[in-house]
Amino acid sequence: MATARTREQSASTGSAPARLFAPCRAACPVHVDVPGYLLAVAEGRFSDALDIVIERNPLPSVCGRICLRPCEDGCRRCLLDEPVAIAALKRAAADHGVYPTPRHPKRMRPERVAVVGSGPAGLTAAYDLACLGIHVTIYEEKPRLGGMLRYGIPNYRLPDAALDRDISFILGHGIESKTDIRIGRDITLAGLRASCDAVLVTAGLQLSRPVPIEGVDLPGVLTALPFLDAAARGMRVDVGKRVVVVGGGNVAVDVARTASRLGAREVTMICLESREEMPASDHELHDAETEGIRFLPSWGPRAVLGDDEVTGLRAVRCTSVFDAEKRFAPTFDESVSTILDADTVLFAVGQGVDVADLGVPLTQRGAPVHEPGTMRTPVERVYAAGDCVCGPTKVIDAIAEGHRAAAVIFRDLAGDDRPLVELDADAIAIGKVPEHVAHKLERKRRIQMERLEFYEACDSFDEVEFGYTQYEAAREAQRCLSCTTGARLTREKCAACLTCVRVCPHDVPSLQAGGYLYFDLDACHACGACVSQCPALALSLEGTSEAEMSRKMQRALEDHSVDATLAFRCGSAPGGFLHLGKDTTTLTQSCLLSVSERSVLEALQSGAAKVLFAECDAATCRFPHAQELVARSAERIRSILSQLGMEDAFEVVPVEPLEGEYLPWSS
Amino acid sequence: MVVVTAKQLDEIVHMLAGRRRVLLLGCNTCAAVALAGGDREVETMIQALQLAISRRGMTVEFVGGVLQRQCEPEYVEAMDAEDIDAILSLGCGAGVAMLAAQTGIPVYPALDTLFIGAAQGLGSWRAECSACGSCVLGETAGICPVTRCAKGILNGPCGGVNDGECELGDRPCAWVEIHERLESQGRGASFAHENPPKDDSAGEMYQWDLSAKGGSR
């Protein structure tokens, strides 16, 4: 995968100029064009947003729900208030958009590839290879595809229906799948190799073991993965009233919340780590806490108690988990101990690889031997990728592994390294929001998503989070600072008029010694003021152009009668997606500045009887400095139309909030 | 720079009557900076003219283009004007003249040329020079009496000044400003003499078409 670096690092290595990414995009292991799809969501174009996500991530429904979102840690809004809800907006794209029609390659290639395991890495690799024209068959040991996504992640976080949407999109690319087949048991690896040109092993981590202490053989001692698997298949595992979960990671949280849904009244998580060190993500811990899960950090299990069945767990105080070199080396104070009553003890303390019967050489910990760069195993034409070789990682890391595996296999089979070169291309993140800009930016809290109340949530496996409505999603997406999508200058066209310098509220363009115009992209938030005023059309915003606007208008007008009204609506205007009247077709823009005088005249020439500017108001405006410029532009349009005797063909209308409508930003 | 502004559409449409394929040509120097003749204005005017023409039941095909400077023969020579039967220039008068001289096809002005001015902020300019051919700005502290004084007098202020305002009531008196600035620069005494009448024949010292000064008009 392309590596993200800071600009300073890039400068110091003096390498070729790298791609400049927004920090969210740079932090994402697959570099999804986050600002690109957030803009599409902000403008209500959910299908466009979904297209953009799928370009780099074929599992939008999945990642929109359960991604651990490194992108949000990088979000430059963190410095102002809270990061944009990037993952939730990916889900909104998948919920409200239409999945693209599978693109079938112009010609199929002769090669065949077998993918062993259908988790995120396997699905992604299969998808990439199929897009490149290779015949792919996925082999899955379990009855349905999805791997850990289906059998490890509980339904209340990732319902089967959401996973199925992604999987059916992927399979739509002509991928075959064979379930209930374990390679090494039902088919030998040699047999598989004989039937195809390459085998990719993405078996994941399927084993979980208890900590080797006294009493773990008692009935009532369970391990995480079989437990979650059974729950995922709809079995009502009887856990009794009191459950103790050993482990402090995200899997342990899933286990604890699942146990509570299976009827446990008292669920306690104990782990070696202190509360601050617990590896589970903060929002998972927060959700578990609201559902009544109790945490007991800094305890090490010593024995499971009970004669014929579990009655409790004895633990001692853990004084530290890691040594000075940050290696796992727990120390205990045996004099401090506690006994927890329990009907069931669940161990969620790490996972192991289960490929012993596969027939590839294994490392000490049982993983396939492989060379990380090429992903090759010592067995010819057999590759391994994902958690089975990397250890436990995030879903999005596994997707990145899948991309890489597909690229190296394609290079080896087809002799074409373009997909690999594309993955390895360098990317750097832009810097922080400069102080002089930060204090000018409006503070806007994240829009809270509706979710089940905790007392409803812990009674069923229904999905807890409802997802944003279209309106909420557009509003939340408008919090994006649009990093790196801002002004691009084509120097050859520049007339050096300094109009951009005069209209920019953030001093992005500045005149340097010698009359050189410099654009500080760290400060730019793509409001489009300079682009809208540049007389030489030397400036542009990424992802927007007059040609694109022209296409959007034609599409919008196609479906309407000759007397249609075309309304350009500011995305920050209240009123949701209400229509502004009969036979009015609406194009939502992130700001009306992106609608040029030319576009308005073109719309009238293309058959619109009238054009409206549906404005936001001061309370919701995203770019206050733009109001004067939009007013100037409207005045100019009026002047031209009055010369043509068409005064009535254009109007600026304020959009009133609907009765009772809540305005998330204005309060 | 030369400040220009767009003509009324009616006047332009009238000029173009009977033309089949018209090139709208912007100028990426003064006219672009004056926000009236760059690529953006070319695109906008094409749309506006198309609307105007179609409402009159006429058909004219418009194509757009921009020269770096219309008033340079080299730029004009490098231009592609194939199958064009008229040019609508979005440049200043000098651009129109150069295009007409170089191309041999009818050239029409889409803009009115206003003055030589300096920027006052976004979309605003003030006339500062009348290109008279014999500059006195050194003596007048950089404020041109020919341009900024309503009467264009070389010795002022006149009797019409009222509290620093011109008797026209729409501008400050240029001569009051000149004296104040000279004073502030410690040059107050330098205007103790009278300026002789300007030599408007300055340009005639040269053959008119070779004159570097432009000359008398």
State residue A388's pLDDT score. Answer: 93
Q: Is a pLDDT exceeding 80 seen at residue B115? A: yes
State residue A239's pLDDT score. Answer: 93
Q: Is a pLDDT exceeding 70 seen at residue B194? A: yes
State residue A547's pLDDT score. Answer: 86
Q: Is a pLDDT exceeding 50 seen at residue B207? A: no
Distance of CA A42 to the CA centre of its chain: 16
Q: What is the end-to-end Cα distance of chain A in Å, rounded? A: 43
The full 3-state SS of A101-153, as one line of letters, equals CCCCCCCCCCCEEEEECCCHHHHHHHHHHHHCCCEEEEECCCCCCCCHHHHCC
State residue A538's pLDDT score. Answer: 94
Ramachandran area for residue B38 (φ above 0: left; ψ -120 to 50: alpha; else beta): beta
State residue B212's pLDDT score. Answer: 47
Question: Which of B7, B44, B45 is the best mutation test for A, with the most CBs of A within 10 A?
Answer: B44
- Binning pLDDT at 50, 70 and 90, where does residue A574 land? low
Q: What is the pLDDT of residues B22-77, one digit of tens each?
A: 999 999 999 999 999 999 999 999 999 999 999 888 899 999 999 999 999 999 99
- Binning pLDDT at 50, 70 and 90, where does residue B215 land? very low
Distance from CA of B119 to the nearest CA of A (A): 10
Distance of CA B112 to the CA centre of its chain: 7
Tokens standing for residue A624? 């206050």
Q: Does A511 touch chain B (CB under 8 A)?
A: no
Counting every residue written for chain B, the total comes to: 217
Please name the residues in contact with B127: beta carbons below 8 A apart, sequence gap of 6 or more.
Answer: B3, B114, B115, B116, B117, B147, B148
Please name the residues in contact with A217: beta carbons below 8 A apart, sequence gap of 6 or more.
Answer: none
- Give the mean model confidence (pLDDT) for residues B127-144: 90
How far apart (Å, rounded) are the C-alpha atoms in residues A446 and B211? Answer: 68
My answer on whether B189 and B215 are in the same domain is yes
Asked which of A345-359, A414-428, B154-168 is least confident by mean pLDDT, the reply is: A414-428
Q: Which amino acid is at A429?
A: A
- Give the mean model confidence (pLDDT) for residues A390-411: 95
Asked which of A157-166, A286-295, A582-591 is least confident by mean pLDDT, the reply is: A582-591
| Rg of chain A in Å (alpha carbons) | 28
My answer on whether B108 and B136 are in the same domain is no
Task: Name residue, tokens 């009935």.
Answer: A219
Q: Is a pLDDT exceeding 50 seen at residue A665? A: no
Q: What is the pLDDT of residues A132-188, one digit of tens each?
A: 999 999 999 999 999 999 999 999 999 999 999 999 999 999 999 999 999 999 999
Q: What is the DSSP string of A564-590?
A: -EEEEEETTSSSTT--SSTTEEEEEES
Highest mean pLDDT, choosing among A95-109, A288-302, A651-665: A288-302
* Fold designation for A112-205+353-424: FAD/NAD(P)-binding domain (3.50.50)
Element of type H or E holding B64:
strand B61-67
Asked which of A507-516, B44-53, B130-139, B199-208 is least confident by mean pLDDT, the reply is: B199-208
- Give the mean model confidence (pLDDT) for residues A542-564: 82
State residue A624's pLDDT score. Answer: 84
The interface residues of chain B toward chain A in range 85-144, judged by CB-CB distance below 8 A, are 119, 121-123
Q: Is a pLDDT exceeding 70 seen at residue A216? A: yes
Q: Is a pLDDT exceeding 80 seen at residue A298? A: yes
Name the residue among A502, A596, A605 with its Cβ closest to that of B50: A605
Given a contact cutoff of 8 angstroms between Cβ atoms, the answer to whether B90 and B28 are in contact is: no
Please list, residue by residue across A318-331, b when 16 or more beta carbons sit within 10 angstroms of its beta carbon and e when fewer do: beebeeeeeeeeee
State residue A577's pLDDT score. Answer: 46
- Name the residue in chain A with its Cα closest to that of B52: A644
My answer on whether B49 and B108 are in the same domain is yes
Q: What percent of chain B has pLDDT over 70?
A: 90
Please name the residues in contact with A193: beta carbons below 8 A apart, sequence gap of 6 or more.
Answer: A199, A379, A381, A382
Q: Does B158 touch chain A (CB under 8 A)?
A: no
Q: Is residue B124 part of a domain?
A: no
Q: What is the DSSP letter of B195?
A: P
My answer on whether B101 and B141 are in the same domain is no
Counting every residue written for chain A, the total comes to: 667
Q: Is a pLDDT exceeding 60 seen at residue A666? A: no
Q: Does A598 touch chain B (CB under 8 A)?
A: yes
- The whole-model pTM stands at 0.83
Asked which of A80-94, A397-411, A419-433, B34-48 is least confident by mean pLDDT, the reply is: A419-433
A536–B48 CB contact, under 8 Å: no
The closest of A40, A80, A86, A35 to A447, measured between CA atoms, is: A86
CATH of the domain spanning A207-351: 3.50.50.60
Q: Which amino acid is at A562?
A: V
Q: Domain with B96 in it: what CATH number?
A: 3.40.50
Domain count, chain B: 2
Q: Is residue B213 part of a domain?
A: yes
- Binning pLDDT at 50, 70 and 90, where does residue B211 land? very low
Q: Does 1.10.1060 match the CATH number of domain A4-100+427-477?
A: yes
Q: Is residue B52 part of a domain?
A: yes
Distance of CA A382 to the CA centre of its chain: 30
Taking CB atoms and an 8 Å cutoff, what residues of chain B touch A499?
A: 35, 122
Q: Is a pLDDT exceeding 90 seen at residue A439? A: no
Q: Is a pLDDT exceeding 70 seen at residue A554? A: yes
Q: Is residue B177 part of a domain?
A: yes
Which residues on neighbouring strands pair with residue B116, listed in sequence order? B2, B129
Q: Is residue B198 part of a domain?
A: yes
Taking CB atoms and an 8 Å cutoff, what residues of chain B touch A645?
A: 55
Distance from CA of A600 to the nearest CA of B (A): 9
Instruction: Select from B90, B115, B140 the last residue of a domain.
Output: B115
How far apart (Å, rounded) are the C-alpha atoms in residues A193 and A329? Answer: 42
Please name the residues in contact with B11: beta carbons below 8 A apart, sequence gap of 6 or more.
Answer: none
Please name the residues in contact with A243: beta carbons below 8 A apart, sequence gap of 6 or more.
Answer: A256, A259, A260, A264, A266, A267, A268, A342, A343, A344, A345, A346
Tokens standing for residue A639? 């002047």
Q: Which amino acid is at B72?
A: E
Q: State the residue range of the domain holding B39.
A: 2-115
Tokens standing for residue B200? 């408007």
State residue B203's pLDDT score. Answer: 47
Task: Name residue, tokens 């889900």.
Answer: A91
My answer on whether B63 and B154 are in the same domain is no
My answer on whether B85 and B147 are in the same domain is no
State residue A590's pLDDT score. Answer: 81
Asked which of A87-96, A223-232, A526-535, A657-666 is least confident by mean pLDDT, the reply is: A657-666
The interface residues of chain A toward chain B in range 619-658, judged by CB-CB distance below 8 A, are 632, 640, 643-646
Taking CB atoms and an 8 Å cutoff, what residues of chain B touch A646?
A: 51, 55
Given a contact cutoff of 8 angstroms between Cβ atoms, the answer to whether B66 and B38 are in contact is: yes
Asked which of A37-41, A365-369, B185-189 is least confident by mean pLDDT, the reply is: B185-189
Distance from CA of A430 to the nearest CA of B (A): 30
Q: Does B55 touch chain A (CB under 8 A)?
A: yes
- Give the mean model confidence (pLDDT) for residues A460-484: 91
How far apart (Å, rounded) are the C-alpha atoms in residues A306 and A439? Answer: 62
State residue B201's pLDDT score. Answer: 61
State residue A658's pLDDT score. Answer: 58
> How many CB atoms are located within 10 Å of the residue B114 CB?
15
Q: What is the pLDDT of residues A342-382, one digit of tens each?
A: 999 999 998 899 999 998 999 998 999 999 889 999 999 99
Q: Which amino acid is at A530?
A: C
Pick the CATH number of A488-540 from 3.30.70.20, 3.30.390.10, 3.40.50.1100, 3.90.1170.50: 3.30.70.20
Q: Does A536 touch chain B (CB under 8 A)?
A: yes
My answer on whether B15 and B102 are in the same domain is yes
Output B177 or A209, whichever has higher pLDDT: B177
Please list, residue by residue across A207-217, b when 16 or more beta carbons sit within 10 angstroms of its beta carbon and e when fewer do: ebebeebebbe
> How many CB atoms are located within 10 Å of the residue B49 CB?
22
Q: Is residue B58 part of a domain?
A: yes
Q: What is the pLDDT of residues A491-526, one digit of tens each?
A: 999 999 999 999 998 999 999 888 889 998 889 988
Name the residue among A498, A534, A646 with its Cβ closest to that of B40: A534
| Rg of chain B in Å (alpha carbons) | 21
| CA A619, A622, A625, A626 torsion-angle sign | negative
Name the residue among A496, A534, A601 with its Cβ closest to that of B51: A601
My answer on whether B108 and B76 are in the same domain is yes
My answer on whether B105 and B163 are in the same domain is no
State residue A10's pLDDT score. Answer: 41
The closest of A247, A235, A99, A268 to A170, measured between CA atoms, is: A99
A597–B52 CB contact, under 8 Å: no
Q: Is residue B176 part of a domain?
A: yes
Task: Name residue, tokens 């532009």.
Answer: A633
- Mean pLDDT (chain B) is 89
B9–A640 CB contact, under 8 Å: yes
Instruction: Select from B91, B115, B139 the last residue of a domain.
Output: B115
Please indicate whether the domains covering A112-205+353-424 and A207-351 agree at the CATH topology level. yes
Ordered by start, the domain boundaries in chain A are 4-100+427-477, 112-205+353-424, 207-351, 488-540, 546-654
Taking CA A241 as the corner, what is the angle to CA A240 and CA A245, rounded to the nearest 5 degrees? 85
Q: What is the DSSP letter of A79?
A: G
Q: Can you point out the beta strands (E) in A455-550?
A: 488-489, 509-512, 516-519, 539-540
Q: How many CB pairs under 8 A join A and B?
A: 80
Please name the residues in contact with A378: beta carbons below 8 A apart, sequence gap of 6 or more.
Answer: A360, A361, A369
Output A8 or A385, whichever has higher pLDDT: A385
How far apart (Å, rounded) are the C-alpha atoms in residues A35 and A24? Answer: 8
Asked which of A271-275, A429-433, A555-559, B207-211 is least confident by mean pLDDT, the reply is: B207-211
The full 3-state SS of A610-663, as one line of letters, equals EEEEEECCCCCCCCCCHHHHHHHHHHHHHHHHHHCCCHHHEEEEECCCCCCCCC
My answer on whether B38 and B74 are in the same domain is yes
> How many CB atoms are located within 10 Å of the residue B138 CB?
8
How far apart (Å, rounded) are the C-alpha atoms in residues A521 and A20? Answer: 10
State residue A409's pLDDT score. Answer: 97
Q: Does B187 touch chain A (CB under 8 A)?
A: no
State residue B210's pLDDT score. Answer: 45
